[in-house]
Structure 1
Amino acid sequence: MRPFQYLRPKTVGEAVTMAADHPDAQYIAGGTNLIDLMKRGITSPSTLIDINHLPLKKIEHRYDRTRIGALALNSDVAQHKLVTRRQPLLAEALLAGASGQIRNMATVGGNLLQRTRCSYFYDVAMPCNKRNPGSGCSAEGGINRTHAIFFNANEKPSCIAVHASDMCVALTALDTDVVIAGPNGERTLPFKDFHRLSTQQPELDTYLAPGELVTAIEVQDNAFTEHHHYLKVRDRASYAFALVAVAAALQMDGGKIWEARVALGGVAHKPWRYWAVELMLRGNAPSEKLFREVAEHEMRSAKAGEYNAYKINLTANAMVAALKTAAGIS
């Protein structure tokens, strides 16, 4: 690990100014991902800006939304009464992520910004467009068992790694905004526009501008508190990243689905939301036949590599299972 300068701002404004003065600086909070990357030489910032003492841990309800500070710990958010009551899908997803020890250190903001766990990204001896743009994607012709099956329809991906977060899958299914502080003041970005696909600049995971700092997320109130499920399929039941994850949420009334949300993890460079599936579900009575039809319809656009074709059937089956649980049918 290279030597680095350590700075500790007292305010959000001071943190943003420090980042502007040190272009290759990085913010550090829990450090559950960043420290690993520094130890492996994947990232080597000359300056770390410690934001742990900033007042960004509060969880509160404002008007029609739940606001969660970027420094709130994953374990605290998952167990907070406001979250379990108003956003239970988010609490479910957080409890499915990582281990208890990591959830006790990891922050909401850091979870949003975590890097892929692609083994080729972590192996500095192998070409990787995300680590070294233009060097190639080793996973394309390598062991791509855990890699993406969904891409931008119009462009060839330059990276087939998947996004690692469980929390972000749930936030993608819900109406979420990201609150960001930067040199030009505060702005809000819809969560669906926060992460990037890999067709251009695969080294960039988000649409944050240099020096910007995530200060909070805001999740709008919804009618999904009764019918929801987060299903994570992984190689082992203990700490492991998802092969496929499904966040399913339904608003039911009179035996029919009036609103639906479906988002996937482990299948794309960013959390993947199924807009077409949601439209197909609306106004219909829930059934395994309906869920199977919409799941298989969406799988037509999947593109597998040599070792991850199994993900197509696995994703469809996981979608059906998650929707059945959310709907309360056996």
Structure 2
Amino acid sequence: MKISLLFGLAAGAALAVALRAPLATTVLGLIAFGVLHNVLELRYVAGRFAPVLGGRFLVVLLGLISAIVVCRLAAMFVGEPARYAEILVGYAVLAAGCAHALRGWRLGAAAVVLIVAAAASLDFPGYHFVVLAHLHNVVPLFFLWEWGGRLRHAAVFRWTQVAWVLGVPALILAGALDFVLGGVSPSTVAAFAGDPARIIAASAPPGSATIVGARFLMVFAFLQTMHYFVWVYFLPRHAPDAARAFEARLGMLRGWRAWALGGGLGAALAVLFVIDYASGRALYGAFASYHAYLEFPVLLALLSPSGAAGSQLVFRETASERQEPAAVST
């Protein structure tokens, strides 16, 4: 039960800081862990799901996501047209994932859903990007659910994840924790971040009332903090097999080198954040597209029996190399 307890303690700490200082938690957390968690998440996904991410499928995904990077950089200069372009390319990424993972009526149903969703996103782009921001913080639930299958008490671990990913945000949005809200005044965030309203707008639906916007911001701050906990601490520590599988594909980032790359790039970008937070946030958002968008086709691919089975191939290790799944405690 130790791992589940660890998540409970981490969630409690993350909730405390998110409720009392949501702006500071959002801004300073991004500066401290944003780039590093990008590198470590890509390492995990590329290693853990190596059989899924390969060949022409990987080439197509990298090409489409690179187009999204261009869209996000262009948005700094041309604004809305680039955002609409990103929406279209983003749905193309999902379509590629569906085409790779699904067949028959499932593929047809997915196509209908994507068309309807794309139309809604183009009609309401402000809502699209808010949903995307929160959805990215929810995605670790699926990776942790899949990883937890190796544990003796898998059900306890898995439902612990559901509790903090879905249960805690539901309580915040329902107003159950309003009595401990710390507020979102400019004094709660470093001055270099600029107008707090812009930060709140990135996590709250357009036109949200003050208290509703504050709740969405606190949900975002909480989930972002737990997001970093998962990718920077938990999975690197408890899923070393994924790192080894990645290093087998890209030996130049073996061991400490991945951490050095993430830390070095993060430190360099932190300077830009302090000098011009808006530009730093835009640049980070552009290159973070790779890890943010790559998650979705991987999850879609795992819906297929071949994708789910293929993801197991990277873990055919001997008991001497790691503890057997049945011996791991939740």
Q: TM-score, normalised by structure 1?
A: 0.29
Which protein has greater RCO, CA pairs closer than 8 Å, 6+ apart? 2
Give 1 or 2: higher strand fraction: 1
Q: TM-score, normalised by structure 2?
A: 0.29
